[in-house]
Amino acid sequence: MDKFKKFKSDISKYYSENININFSPSSSYRSRCEFTYTNNSYAMHDGKSKIFLKSFINASSSIQKVMPILLYEINNSELLNKKLFQINFRSNSSKEVLATLIYHKHLTDEIKDLRDKLNTKLIDLNVKIILRAKNEIYPEINQFFKDAIRLKNLNLTTYQTDNCFYQPNRFLLTKMIDKVLSYTGFNNTGDLIELYCGVGTFSMPLATSFDRVFVTENNRSSIKCLKQAIIKNNIKNIDFARLSSSEVVELFNGRNFNRMNNKNISEYNFSHILVDPPRSGLTHDVIQLINGFDNIIYISCNPETYLRDVGLLNNHKIKKIEIFDQFPNTKHLEIVSLLSVN
């Protein structure tokens, strides 16, 4: 049984209608890739074994172009390859590439100078190179990586860093955003709260559909990116706070946080809550909290924890749901759904 049939079978006790599947091209779809560096190669883990690569067919075309050229430069420099253990890539809609070299050693002035020269040498590839080590990063400033979200009636600038979450499939991202917007009715007379908001990929488009949007995220880098994007896009109705999901529960239970910057959660009129948790899904306290909202937009990257959580959201029924095949030819699925009170 393939993963689509399995999920449809598993969810049939909660949703019996047909579920649309949004497919991705089977190659060149990943705008974010992470590799181990070993034996002068990029490496990925397949169970207990390693796969050695010079390029990666699933990476975006701009990352594929950079990979062998950067690998050649690294392998021909003892300073660059010594104690290098990981190489990460990100690309954007402008075909720019951010490459991060991560080391088990101190970043000396010598390796920083070599990075600067290599960055200049590869300038025609639109690649920017970052060096990382324990508690070190070089260069230390201007670490934002800019991208664009282009929807039918909306163009937005987003920002990410080399170590914060960003949706990886460049073909399906706008389709997912459009689907979430359709679930909210495009022109809602109420407020939205979002947990696990990341850099605001969904938050900013949804700001056009709600009176006010309050978003939370625990990752410091993501919050910095979100703040930068709100300013750049001149969005006036998004408030944010660096809070974990458990702290949001405490917030609704009356705890005060200085990170709220004098915003009062009771002043919002929430008609929807959006949750996009990690693969582990929602914790029990968060499930108890969101059971009190009329409408839940639940985005999940793990069918198993999604099914578990839906079974515990006993005040709601699935009203709309679609599958997004973010990682073709793997067991993974992305689910975008709307649950509303019975």
Catalytic residues: 301, 334
Is 62 in contact with 96 (CB distance < 8 Å)?
A: yes
Is 233 in contact with 205 (CB distance < 8 Å)?
A: no
Alpha-carbon distance of 326 to 171, in angstroms, equals 9
Q: What's the burial of 188, exposed, middle or buried (CB within 10 Å: 0-12/13-18/19+)? A: middle
The neighbouring-strand residues paired with 340 are 295, 317
Q: What's the burial of 267, exposed, middle or buried (CB within 10 Å: 0-12/13-18/19+)? A: exposed
Is 120 in contact with 91 (CB distance < 8 Å)?
A: no
Where are the extended beta strands (E) located within 183-288?
Answer: 191-195, 212-216, 238-241, 270-275
CA angle 276, 234, 167 (to 5 degrees): 25
Alpha-carbon distance of 335 to 342, in angstroms, equals 21
The neighbouring-strand residues paired with 306 are none
Pairing state of beta strands 316-324 and 154-160? unpaired
Q: Which helix or strand (DSSP H or E) is residue 11 part of? A: none
By three-state DSSP, how is residue 154 classified? strand
CA angle 311, 313, 316 (to 5 degrees): 110
By three-state DSSP, how is residue 284 classified? helix
**Residues whose CB falls within 8 Å of the CB of residue 153, separated by 6 or more in sequence, listed in order:** none
By three-state DSSP, how is residue 100 classified? strand
